[in-house]
Chains A and B, each alone.
Chain A
Amino acid sequence: MWKSLSAATFAVGLVMGAAAQAEDITIAVASEVTAMDPHYHNTGNNNQIVGLIYDRMLHQDSNQQLQPGLAVEWGPIADDVWQFKLREGVKFHDGSDLTAEDIVFSYERVPNVPNSPSSFATYTAGIAEITVVDDYTMQIRTNGPYPLLPIDLSTIQIVSSENPDATTEDYNAGTASIGSGPYKFVSYTPGESIVLEANQDYWGGAPQFDTVTYRPISSDAARVAALLAGDVDVISGVPTSDISTLEGNPDIVLSQGVSNRVIYLHVDSRRVYSPFVTDNEGNEIFNPLQDVNVRKAISMAIDRDTIVEEVMEGIAIPAGQVLPEGFFGVSDNIEVLEYDPEGAKQLLAEAGYPDGFKLTIHGPNDRYINDEQIAQAIAQMLTRVGIETAVETMPRSVYFGRATGDENGSEFSLMLVGWGSGTGEASSPLRALLATRNDETGLGRTNRGRYSSAPFDATLQMALNTVDDDMRAALLARATEIAMREVGLIPTHFQVNTWGTRKGLSYTPRTDEYTRPTNVVIE
């Protein structure tokens, strides 16, 4: 009797144990990781994975709002000094304590990674001095008022200072891949897989999956097939053309969320002659795009609803500014410009172009969701109001270099581009895309249309020097309103991303487009 009872208990215990046990998960992403060194290459694709192994001073949540990370409290104690209170008892995966020393070491390592094609130095450049007050208190003095410091620090992973000479190869091999994040490094096979295992001692609690495997599958169709076949549990970047069929599949769950990425047109608004603008006979003319009314006419001629409904199959949101609502620094006073072809024709006539002119729109064909089709749709819409528009698209490896051009400006006149706000607030696109280009301060670095406006620059500069959050948000919104009124660029839509999961799982979308096991929900 006793025996059979204990056997029964044992069996129940086994079943319970199996149910309570966390699962393994395989995630397919579109691009390959270039290194496991968290300071080597600043790309979203790398950051989404190394951010699981390492921890940061502050976290960005699914909506890119700042949350406590290794710092539990933070704030300015002067205009140019910030104080951070560190979390106590945080341990690295090898059991050693994470201290202020490791944080200082990490910030110092960032600008000095050899061969780094794209370093994180931008985010540490504002730091003048770091003072370790005690084991759990740090003060950072910045070069002038620097309200973006907490956001910038949320991008930098903290590595262990016990490996002072670790190279990128050491991180790739795993010998130096010691972090304090929710998952531990297990293996990295380039082109094939990255395997992580749960860190049961994570300060935020043990993660829900035992093992996480990332697999790069670049072909859209193959990625969807891998999900359908049950090879993988989660995929990112479900192509819009597959969404309607997958929605009817009971074994698949789709999750959608707006991203921080705006798709927009940069307009050559400074040069007297623009390379791809001619009159209707093909003769060179003074650049009509200098005229704000012509730019406005172009914007009014674009039927954003049709682009969203027809080209994007409903999976996008029409845009009137550079970030969707809900983000920090977005203006509540800007409406999406209404489609008005008659009004556009009238504006063109008033500007002195009753018969329109000729233009070429350039765009990439492998960078954004349906980018080539969007460029074609816009060209047809512009042609309808009298601006005869040709389309030329090219692979991104050719496109972006030519779009940026040299000191004489872009090689193009009207170009389709996108911008994701890495900081999750409005200053990122405003600084890069609309500020007057200044190589010393780095402002306007990606201002390919060379829009330049004194009131805009002044308002933005004021915002960048304002540490008070509410005031800065208002100033950023004001700057956005100026730029949109002067049509510094023409936003078309915000990209919406789609994740696919197998039945029983779903994904909480992230505005930064990251695909992470921490956002997977077990239902």
Chain B
Amino acid sequence: MTVFIIRRLLQSVIVVAVMTVLVFAGVYAIGNPVEILISQDATEAERAAAIARLGLDKSLPQQYLAFLGNLLKGDLGTSFVFGEPALKLVLDRFPATMELAICAMIIAIFIGVPLGLYAGLRPDSWGGRTIMTGSIFGFSLPNFWQGLMLIMLFAVILQWLPAGGRGERGEFLGIESSFFSWDGLSHLILPAINLALFKTSLVIRLTRASVRETINLDYVKFARAKGLKPSRVIGLHVLKNIMIPLVTIIGLEFGSVIAFAVVTETVFAWPGMGKLIIDSIFQLDRPVIVAYLIVIVFLFITINLIVDILYAILDPRVRLSDQKA
């Protein structure tokens, strides 16, 4: 188990190294951030001074080596735009994105699994068909448009919920979060639904397919023949066996929800990492882009690790010490 985790971490270091080279070269190729940052009235001397201050006068390999040197000291560089440590900027916005992602995943699981189960058990019923048709909308309507429609309906026309931004944070057990205040929750609902719609459809379809497959297997038939109650057959025998594909997908999707909440965060002016990365890309703020991607890479690796460990718990046949893992 320990060997397994260590090997995973080593792999992640390699991924991060490759990623930083790509991002460095990529952002360098796009252009010079000084053109965007500097005042239009600045003289040539000031422009040169700004370039030197940001370390952009050195060659690309030199800049990269300087970055690596600082990285070993735990310093990911200072934002060109904000003048603050890039990692701090990213981590400051991490809680907002996590709130959104957790809320969206809760919605996706608690709506997606029951609906998918129903559609799988009664595929030909009116309800089952409605659910499956509905899930097509969740897949195919563009995220951006969905968000605007949610705002139009619930914020502009009905005026039930705010149109965007993050509300007040409540405090509970020393943790400050939007979950613990009504104002915070009311701000969280719409963006979370927007982010969850696609994932909910995915969970519905996956659950339905797994249920359809499992329900006809011999052990389920046997359990039924034994005279077990339907609730026990479904709740224990079916549900437990469809958990493995579900956990894989939910784990991976959780990562992608955090990493790609960009659209939702932009539409709802949610002050998370996604909005930061979009702004940083527009301003070629390379230290922030690199810091963000490093955080995301580690996040994905951690989630995958947790998913692998969950496998072992769900399915005793999986052993993590296996060399192929």
The chain A residues found within 8 Å of chain B, CB to CB, are 32, 34-35, 40-43, 114-123, 125, 168-169, 172, 189-193, 215-219, 221-222, 225-226, 228-231, 366, 395-398, 400-402, 404, 419-420, 422, 428, 432, 439-442, 445-446
Contact = CB atoms under 8 A, between A and B. Distances in A.
Interface bin, chain B: 35 or more
A118 B54 CA distance: 11
Given A192-B165, A217-B165, 20 more contacts: A41-B37, A115-B78, A115-B83, A117-B37, A117-B54, A119-B50, A123-B41, A189-B271, A190-B92, A190-B93, A193-B165, A217-B269, A222-B148, A222-B164, A225-B148, A230-B159, A396-B282, A397-B30, A397-B31, A442-B44
A398 B151 contact: no
Interface of B: 30-47, 50, 53-54, 78, 80-84, 89, 92-93, 147-148, 151-152, 155-156, 159, 162-166, 266-269, 271-272, 275-276, 279, 281-284
Contacts of B164: 217, 222, 225-226, 231
A222 B269 contact: yes
Contacts of B266: 218-219, 222
Given A118-B38, A396-B282, A397-B36, A190 B30 contact: no
A364 to B, nearest CB: 11
Nearest to B83: A115
A441 to B, nearest CB: 8
A68 B5 CA distance: 68
Contact of B46 (A35, A122, A168, A192): A122
Nearest to A444: B44
Contact of B155 (A172, A229, A445): A229
B257 to A, nearest CB: 19
B173 to A, nearest CB: 22
Contacts of A43: 39
Contact of B41 (A230, A231, A432, A440): A432
A218 B277 CA distance: 13
Nearest to A419: B40
A25 B282 CA distance: 30
Contacts of A119: 42, 46, 50
A299 to B, nearest CB: 23
A122 B269 contact: no
Nearest to B275: A191
A225 B163 contact: yes
A117 B50 contact: yes
Nearest to A404: B35
Nearest to A227: B163
A445 B42 contact: yes
A495 to B, nearest CB: 15
Given A229-B155, A397-B282, A190 B40 contact: no
Interface centre among B33, B46, B93, B162, by most A CB within 10 Å?
B46
Contacts of A42: 39, 41-42
A78 B271 CA distance: 53
Pairs A-B, 6 closest by C-beta atoms: A442-B43, A191-B271, A401-B31, A115-B83, A117-B37, A229-B155
B286 to A, nearest CB: 11
6 contacts: A41-B81, A118-B39, A222-B163, A222-B266, A428-B41, A440-B44
Given A40-B83, A122-B43, A231 B36 contact: no
A397 B82 contact: no
B82 A190 contact: yes
A32 B83 contact: no
Contacts of A32: 279
Contacts of B47: 445
Nearest to B151: A225
Contacts of B44: 439-440, 442, 445
Nearest to A114: B83
B46 A121 contact: yes
A116 to B, nearest CB: 7
Interface centre among A41, A168, A432, by most B CB within 10 Å?
A41
Nearest to B154: A229
Contact of B50 (A118, A225, A428, A445): A118
Contact of A222 (B37, B84, B268): B268
Contacts of A216: 269
Interface centre among B34, B92, B163, B267, by most A CB within 10 Å?
B163
Nearest to B284: A397
Contact of A445 (B43, B82, B271): B43
Given A190-B89, A216-B269, A397-B31, A231 B81 contact: no
Given A34-B82, A122-B39, A432-B40, A222 B151 contact: yes
B42 A122 contact: yes
Given A117-B80, A215-B269, A445-B44, A225 B165 contact: no
